[in-house]
Amino acid sequence: MTNVSEPPGRYPRRILVAVTGLSPQIVTETLYALAIGAEETPFVPTEIHLITTRGGAEKARLALLSDEPGWFHQLCHDYELPPIRFGADTIHVLRDGNGDALDDIRSPDDNRHAADGITELIRDFTADPDCALHVSIAGGRKTMGFFLGYALSLYGRPQDRLSHVLVSEPFEASGGFYYPTPCSRVLELPGGRLVDTANALVTLAELPFVSLRHGLPEALLTGHASYNQTVEAARLALAPPELQLDLATRRVRAAGKVFALPPAELALLSVFARRALRGEAPVPAPPKELPDLAWRQRYLVELRWIDGLLGERDDTERALKNGMDGSYFSTHLSKLRKILQRELGPAAAPYLISDGGSRPRRYRLDLRPTAVGYDALEQEGVRA
């Protein structure tokens, strides 16, 4: 795995991702700025991926990848760039709900499907730790650029970058300009004015972004959640923590997510949730090898509220007949922590039972009383 302190240009897999509409020169302009015009460590992509519409894909193929004019191939030849994977298979055409290629993005449905397609692509790329991503939002419709930038904010890592390419006048307005050429090349502008493309200036404006990746549950980093689901998860992860327990159905809501807990772990969480609700002080764990009757009582009170245990509750009461010891406590506390971290990812932190961080250890759920509730949860969103 590559060290994250490495400059992006030194990662083994380097991907340039761009959105394009009917101006495919965004690709060659950005490639030139990254690989040739960079003031610091050049970023020479090992592959280029375009996100576009049906018409944009055809124009990119004809302008960039054809034998003539083939501007991508010409740039690589002019500046002796190493092989870069870029072809029809790396041009990603956005699709509607029926799987048909989008000609444009005009309706709310088009926007939603475009957002989902862009988000999935960025999520897949950022799942590779040996990959550095450079994302350009210079081309395509404004909504495409917004979704691409926001997707990088959701999933981006320290080695990833976001930029917009800047082209000097009068070349910016010319449909025939693709990159500053190493030798003189005369270009005729609308109105008959002649300019030399060797004199063009192309630079990148890097756009800082806030990465929300570490606030997302692991399931969203590795699964196929939609754009809206991912945004909602990020929003909830950043919201003030709130915990709702439904002992009757063995479920909780934390960080906006509803999920089930095993009875033993749910009862233990409820012990601390009840204390937080009442504003009570932290408590020590039961002694390591000495059963504690007070802990047995507070734990069984919560367990008896949980429906459907049948013989399980009797077995627990027999096991704790003489009290709860430190081993029982730590075993179920560890299981509870693992479940919360699996379900909530980094957003689990406020819901983990804290030991205070110093000796003597005293345990508490560090939530304000108004952040804890015992109400019935709706059936939707259940995870067994």
Domain annotation covers residue 382: no
> Which residues touch 126 (CB under 8 Å, ≥6 apart)?
133, 155, 156, 157, 160, 213
257: β partners: 254
Which of 185, 201, 232 is the last residue in one of the domains?
Answer: 232
Answer with the residue of higher pLDDT: 300 or 214: 300
Which of 212, 232, 252 is the last residue in one of the domains?
Answer: 232
Which of 232, 255, 278 is the last residue in one of the domains?
Answer: 232
Mean pLDDT, rounded, for 192-217: 86
Query: Which residue matches tokens 């009442």?
Result: 278
Whether 95 and 132 map to the same domain: the answer is: yes
Whether 247 and 197 map to the same domain: the answer is: no
Whether 62 and 24 map to the same domain: the answer is: yes
Answer with the residue of higher pLDDT: 228 or 171: 171
Domain annotation covers residue 46: yes
Whether pLDDT at 312 is above 90: no
Going from the C-alpha of 379 to that of each of 113, 118, 376, the distances in angstroms are 28, 31, 9
Whether pLDDT at 367 is above 50: yes
CB 86 within 8 A of CB 48: yes
Our measurement of the distance from residue 383's CA atom to the centroid of its chain's CA atoms, rounded to an integer in Å, reads 21
Whether 361 and 217 map to the same domain: the answer is: no
Domain annotation covers residue 120: yes
pLDDT on residue 381 = 42
Whether 155 and 26 map to the same domain: the answer is: yes
Domain annotation covers residue 381: no
pLDDT in tens, 239-260: 789 999 999 899 999 988 899 9
pLDDT on residue 4 = 62
Whether 261 and 164 map to the same domain: the answer is: no
The token duo for 192 is 């008959």
Whether 31 and 111 map to the same domain: the answer is: yes
Give the model's confidence band at 287: pLDDT under 50 very low, under 70 low, under 90 confident, else very high: very high
User: How many Å is the maximal CA-CA distance in the chain?
Assistant: 97
Whether 68 and 138 map to the same domain: the answer is: yes
Whether pLDDT at 327 is above 80: yes
Q: Which strand (E) or helix (H) includes residue 345?
A: none
Strands 243-246 and 251-254 come out as antiparallel
Whether pLDDT at 107 is above 70: yes
Domain annotation covers residue 92: yes
Give me the chain's average pLDDT, please.
89
Whether 217 and 274 map to the same domain: the answer is: no
Whether 17 and 136 map to the same domain: the answer is: yes
Whether 297 and 175 map to the same domain: the answer is: no
CB 213 within 8 A of CB 193: no
Give the model's confidence band at 42: pLDDT under 50 very low, under 70 low, under 90 confident, else very high: very high
Give the model's confidence band at 221: pLDDT under 50 very low, under 70 low, under 90 confident, else very high: low
Peptide bond into 360 cis (omega under 30): yes
What is the C-alpha to C-alpha distance for residues 222 and 124, in angstroms, rounded to an integer? 8
Domain annotation covers residue 60: yes
When divided into structural domains, the chain yields a total of 2
Give the model's confidence band at 220: pLDDT under 50 very low, under 70 low, under 90 confident, else very high: low
Whether pLDDT at 100 is above 60: yes
Domain annotation covers residue 1: no
Which of 173-177, 205-209, 367-371 is the least confident region?
173-177
pLDDT on residue 231 = 73
∠ at Cα 361 (357, 366), nearest 5°?
A: 60
Whether 263 and 212 map to the same domain: the answer is: no
Domain annotation covers residue 384: no
Which of 1-10, 74-83, 149-158, 327-336 is the least confident region?
1-10
Range of the domain at 290: 241-373
> Which residues touch 300 (CB under 8 Å, ≥6 apart)?
267, 316, 317, 320
pLDDT on residue 213 = 78
pLDDT on residue 301 = 92
